[in-house]
Homo-oligomer: A and B are copies of this chain.
Amino acid sequence: MANNRRRDILRRAAELFASQGVSRTSIEDIAAAVGIKREGVYYYFKSRSDILLEIILPQSKSLLMGLQRLMRANMDSTLKLRSAIEIHLDAYNPSYIEMSVALKEQHFGLDDTRMNELRMVWDEYGMLWTGIIREGQARGAFKQEIDAKIVAYGLLGMCNWVSRWYDPDKSTTIRDITDTFAAIATTGVEAAAVAKPEAAQ
């Protein structure tokens, strides 16, 4: 029961944060959406930042864990890159609201300790993405001359920006987006060769 109430607060807060922005959402708004008094919110959470972090951090950590598992997998580089895109985009599906809250805004409001905790997760996540590109380069599967970090941040940006335009109610599915992004990331938009070239070295 207590857990249900807590989850309810997080869910309603996430919806409000996603639709109107964090800074425009008060504890009163959240309480009203749940149908309780503001004291009821404060019983579970110290502040709006607390609620925000509780939405973003588990979401971010779960993405990170998914990628850590993937890094250990024995898989060819192209498939690994596709899987990384898939892990990231799949999170929009059950957790579109939470992903939106995490990504739509830059979170200026969090205090330094919390921001650092979040930043550490995101930095490691970015490093793992960079690692996928570097591994592909080391294996000769990916272009040597491209900067792995810029590639990683570019592809992550592509996936993160989905939070700004994807609408779960419209016909474009996460599967469509995953297929298209994987195609761009691996072989680009240019029309494919008939015979698949062997990787250099």
Chain A interface (Cβ < 8 Å from any Cβ of B) = 20-21, 23-24, 78, 81, 104-106, 108-109, 133, 136, 140-144, 146-147, 149-151, 153-162, 164-165, 172, 176-177, 180-181, 183-194, 197, 199-200
Contacts of A147 in B (CB 8 A): 172, 176, 180
List of B residues within 8 angstroms of A81 by Cβ? 189
Point out the residues of chain B lying under 8 angstroms from A183, CB to CB.
143, 146, 188
Given the known interface contacts A23-B23, A150-B172, A161-B156, the answer about A187 and B184 at a Cβ–Cβ threshold of 8 Å is no
Q: How many copies does the complex hold?
A: 2
Question: 5 closest pairs, A vs B, by CB?
Answer: A157-B161, A193-B197, A23-B23, A21-B108, A188-B188
Instruction: State whether A146 and B189 are in contact (beta carbons under 8 Å apart), knowing that A21-B106, A24-B23, A157-B164 are contacts in the complex.
Output: yes
Max chain B Cβ within 10 angstroms of own Cβ: one of A133, A143, A172: A143
Known A-B contacts A109-B24, A160-B161, A164-B157; A186 and B180 likewise in contact (beta carbons under 8 Å): no
Contact of A23 among B21, B141, B187, B200 (CB under 8 A): B21
Residue of B nearest to A23 (CB): B23
User: Are B199 and A190 in contact (CB-based, < 8 A)?
Assistant: yes
Q: Is the beta-carbon distance between B199 and A188 smaller than 8 angstroms?
A: no
Whole-angstrom CA separation of A188 from B159 in the bound complex: 15
A189 lies within 8 A of B142 (CB): yes
* Interfacial chain B residues near A141, Cβ < 8 Å: 190-191
The CA of A187 and the CA of B125, in the complex, are separated in Å by 25
What CA separation (Å) do A108 and B17 show in the bound complex?
A: 10
Contact (A197, B191) CB under 8 Å given A23-B23, A106-B21, A143-B183:
yes
* Cα-based distance from A197 to B192 in the complex (angstroms): 7
What residues of B have a CB within 8 angstroms of the CB of A153 in the complex? 161-162, 165
Q: Which residues of B contact A144 (CB under 8 A)?
A: 191
Q: Using A143-B192, A184-B188 as known contacts, list a sample of 14 further A-B pairs with CB atoms less than 8 Å apart, ordered by residue number in A.
A: A104-B106, A142-B191, A146-B183, A150-B180, A155-B184, A156-B161, A157-B161, A160-B164, A161-B161, A183-B188, A186-B188, A186-B189, A192-B200, A193-B193
